[in-house]
Structure 1
């Protein structure tokens, strides 16, 4: 079905990932943290015609899709099953006051943006990418764990930035 000319809108896709593929050396660590399948989300190609069909059938007042088979909606459980995310365990919410951010950064990443003498106040995605995008084949386990944690930070951080 072709929409009337006056209601046609171009759909543009946006990626929320870290903009690089995870190194093969960190994939086992992402799997242990249950982020392996999430890291591979941007592997899928989007088909604009299928997305348009779903958008066309979405009813925001009822939060449902009206399809030929009936009404349906997407639940958090559906998303968790598709992404193989655990729904058990502690919930991560809220804001915490970090007294010594440089210590926290060293604990999780093994280095800090403040290493160059600048005062450390925040993490930038560009710094994470620059420092953790590639690992050498002889990287020690601690380096692989830090790279996996940096990748997870980017996955979560980019999703949070896009949502706001």
Structure 2
């Protein structure tokens, strides 16, 4: 990990536009960028469906074989999946 490059990118991130503001212009993440970073395929059937707040972790586990951890003690349970919990098995 290049800590200097990572720090420079963090300093240039603008949450209002969800993009990096660089001297050469504005840059944002694309679907292809995420596919390269996560090694997840972007072709084929979409992993989607009706998900209720009650069972979204279980549904995620059924669809992609990995289930996110439950909420931490004393913290609110949010209905969103963080990319950090997803670890790929090759």
TM-score w.r.t. the length of structure 2 is 0.50
Higher RCO, Cα 8 Å, sep 6+: 1
More helix by percentage: 1
Give 1 or 2 for the bigger CA radius of gyration. 1
TM-score w.r.t. the length of structure 1 is 0.30
